[in-house]
Amino acid sequence: MPLLPGAEPFRRDGGEVGVLVCHGFTGSPQSVRPWAEYLADQGLTVALPLLPGHGTRWQELQITTWQDWYAEVDRELRALTERCSKVFVCGLSMGGALALRLAAKHGDAVSGVAVVNPGNKIHDAAAPLLPVLRHVVRSTKGITSDIAKPGAREVGYDRVPLHAAYALRRFFQQVDSELPRVTQPLLVMTSPQDHVVRPVDSERILARVSSTDVRQTLLERSYHVATLDHDAEQIFRETFAFISRLAPEAGTGTRAGSAEAGAHEGTAASGGA
């Protein structure tokens, strides 16, 4: 199945500090690629995988589960821990939930977590009906490109398959139950004006984790896909500052890209989920 333009995964070898970046539900690596590239440009070793069922057509997402999505980032994290002395996890939206579960499950193998508009619950009134509704209605309208910046666009699906929405709901419930196991330093960046994930999700996450080193930043000028919005540079700088504080050796790596990264380096970043 051909990938949508910009949906390619991104990897670049750098120094001994690694970062795993996770994209969101129905989106693709394109939505967070500028974030990943910025961190790679600072000399970090960066991995940004494409989640199963994403980056092609929405019908492919229909036949995947949250376990498939999590297994992909779990594999990437294990690979980074073999290559790097310290590893951080980052994510947007559902990618933030994936990052938090990695932290809960892997403990000291994760040195810190940075998330942007992390999802914790599907608030739609129809959500409790998904177990039945998904067998009657195949899909609903898409949730991509919630961006305030004129001209910015996210590469993702224009439809949300309800089987996948049901899987997402179950995943959020699973992660919510595991949040007390998150003890790592945590940076939460939240858009007060978000039309996809309610800001209250960030507040619940902050209230439920066991982390003591916690910081929240408000992204006042951006909507949901803030990594492509007006506050993108703020996100990038604050993430690197967060990592550098916890891993002073960060940024001492090379800028030489891997063969895969080099192959995709010219791909324009235009949007994300």
How much of the chain, in percent, has pLDDT values that exceed 70? 88
The mean pLDDT value of the chain amounts to: 90
148-163, pLDDT tens digit by residue? 999 999 999 999 999 8
User: For residue 269, is it within any domain?
Assistant: no
**pLDDT tens per residue across span 48-76:** 999 999 999 999 999 999 999 999 999 99
For 92, residues 6+ apart whose C-beta sits below 8 A from its C-beta are 22, 23, 24, 27, 31, 32, 35, 115, 116, 117, 118, 225, 226, 227, 272, 273
Question: Do the domain assignments include residue 266?
Answer: no
Q: 264 in a domain, yes or no? A: no
Per DSSP, the three-state class of 195 is coil
Collapsing DSSP to helix, strand or coil, 183 comes out as coil
Residue 3 near residue 251, CB atoms below 8 Å: no
- What is the C-alpha separation between 68 and 135, in angstroms, rounded? 20
pLDDT in tens, 29-39: 999 999 999 99
Q: What is the pLDDT of residue 213?
A: 98
Q: Is 94 annotated as a binding residue?
A: yes
What whole-number distance in Å separates Cα of residue 90 and Cα of residue 110? Answer: 11
pLDDT band, very low/low/confident/very high, at 4 (cuts 50, 70, 90): very high
The whole-number pLDDT of residue 136 equals 64
In a domain, 207, yes or no: yes
Q: Stretch 205-224: mean pLDDT, rounded?
A: 98
Does 2 reside within a domain? no
Q: Is 1 annotated as contributing to ligand binding?
A: no
Active site residue 211: no
Query: Looking at the 3D structure of the chain, how many domains does it have?
Result: 1
Range of the domain at 115: 10-246
Q: Which of 111, 201, 224, 231 does the annotation list as catalytic?
A: 224
93: annotated active-site residue: yes
3-state SS class at 63: coil
pLDDT confidence of residue 137 = 73
Options 146, 194, 229, 231, the catalytic residue: 194
pLDDT classification of 123: cutoffs 50, 70, 90: confident
pLDDT of 270 above 60: no
User: Of the candidates 216, 69, 93, 199, which has an alpha carbon nearest to the alpha carbon of residue 145?
Assistant: 93
pLDDT in tens, 9-28: 999 999 999 999 999 999 99
pLDDT at 122: 83
Q: Which of 126-130, 189-193, 249-253 has the highest mean pLDDT?
A: 189-193
Question: What average pLDDT score do residues 247-269 get?
Answer: 51
- Token pair of 26 as six digits: 């129905």
On whether residue 17 sits in a domain, the answer given is yes
The residue from 93, 139, 222, 270 that is catalytic is 93
Predicted structure pTM score: 0.89
Q: What is the predicted pLDDT for the residue at 263?
A: 36
User: Would 251 be classed as within a structural domain?
Assistant: no
pLDDT at 260: 38
What mean pLDDT comes out for the span 82-111? Answer: 97
Q: Is 229 a catalytic residue?
A: no
**Integer Cα distance of 146 and 193 in angstroms:** 10
Reported as a pLDDT band with limits 50, 70 and 90, residue 262 is: very low
CATH number at residue 212: 3.40.50.1820
How far, in Å, are 48, 72, 73, 266, 272 from residue 67 at the CA level?
18, 9, 10, 32, 22
Instruction: Identify whether 80 is part of a domain.
Output: yes
| Contacts (Cβ under 8 Å, ≥6 apart) of 260 | 9, 10, 11
